Structure 1
Amino acid sequence: MSALVKSRGAFIVLEGCDRVGKSTQVLRLLEALTEAGVPNKVLKFPDRTTSIGKHIDAYLRRKLELPDKAVHLLFAANRWEVEGEMKSDLLSGQTLVVDRYAYSGVAYTAAKKVAPLWWCKAPDIGIPAPDVVFYLKLPAKVAEQRDVYGDERYEQVGFQQEVEQQFEALRGPQWIELDASRNIESLHKDILAKALEVIRAVDRQPIGELWTDDAVVQSSS
């Protein structure tokens, strides 16, 4: 396959509840894009290597307790930490493949019922907007059967079902829902085909900003 040279890279996000196979599909996509000659870079949120990310890591491993709203703001700050780097990478022609993004931050906090959806979205207003979101959907009862389920704070079936409902409320026109119970290779082929379409389509389009046109968020915040 010939290399795809574009004026900017595409911003590709994989979302979904815990243990649906996002990390596996991210790796498969990166390998395929590299083989296709597409400059690419992977990001995973939360980024546990940053100063803020280390606090998040301790929280997720149950080694640190924090109020729910404070945790939410930490997750948002963790994304803003690399906002400038993300834009620079995209404008240099690199395609970003991101494992979880602001949608997860909003869905998980909203599922706790500690704040309305508009409040949860507000800290991420203006962050770079994805060109496509691959939403991997899998029943929580099925995900529960996968290896090491339950190792981290949020891996509880009842809570994951609440998270799924919040994801449904966040879906937008750039979202593509995929059945995560399918064969890994079949799922990968569908993701790759659409990803290549998006990479070609963004061409010289400007980088979007997340939720800046959301009237409900703007009026409520």
Structure 2
Amino acid sequence: MITLCGSPISNYYNKVKLALLEKGMPFAEESVDTHSTDEAVLGCSPLAKIPFIRTPQGGLCESQVILDYLEAICPNPPLVPADPYAAAKVRELIAFIDLHLELVARELYPQAFFGGTVSEGNQARIRKLLTRNIAAFKRLVMFSPYVAGDRFTQADCAAFASLPLVGMASKAVYGEDLLLAAGLDYKPYLKLIGERPAAQRVVADRKAVQAKG
């Protein structure tokens, strides 16, 4: 059995968890803090990043690597199209969400969520980059009704986990949700995904952990 390690607070943990649930794969969960110095953690995730998984063969880290592993060992139901070009478009969307949106917005999290401060210079730099990247993402995303078209894919696991953070962080720091400001109305999409039992489980588990403080 696979053990998913990390925290339900993490969007990348929830990206993987949503895929596991959508595939109906049995898995256990293990709470692991970020930046752990435990050798049992470093043996699976050398940078002590979460999430990572424990498998009968050993550990595996990096959320997208994990999703591709899950797809390989459990191809049904598929979360990546069989057509090579369509599959590449799904991975293209994931790269934009993870690297060009969430990773950039992550620099705002200290001020948006944790009581810290981001300098005015960095705020301006991040806003410029996010504005450019969101405009580019808008050219790729479909919302018809899913991120990559008419079927739920790995890209939806990434989008459901990370787009809300991009919106909330930019709203907290800049006073406006930069996704919505760019004309990217993603809220109906989040509502649609949120109606899926797997997504409801992810959200409920995250809220339970947040409630404990």
**Both structures adopt the same fold (TM-score exceeding 0.5):** no
Between the two structures, name the one with larger relative contact order (CA 8 Å, sep ≥ 6): 1
* Larger helix proportion of the pair: 2
Q: TM-score range by the shorter chain?
A: 0.3 to 0.5
Q: Report the TM-score when normalising by structure 1.
A: 0.36
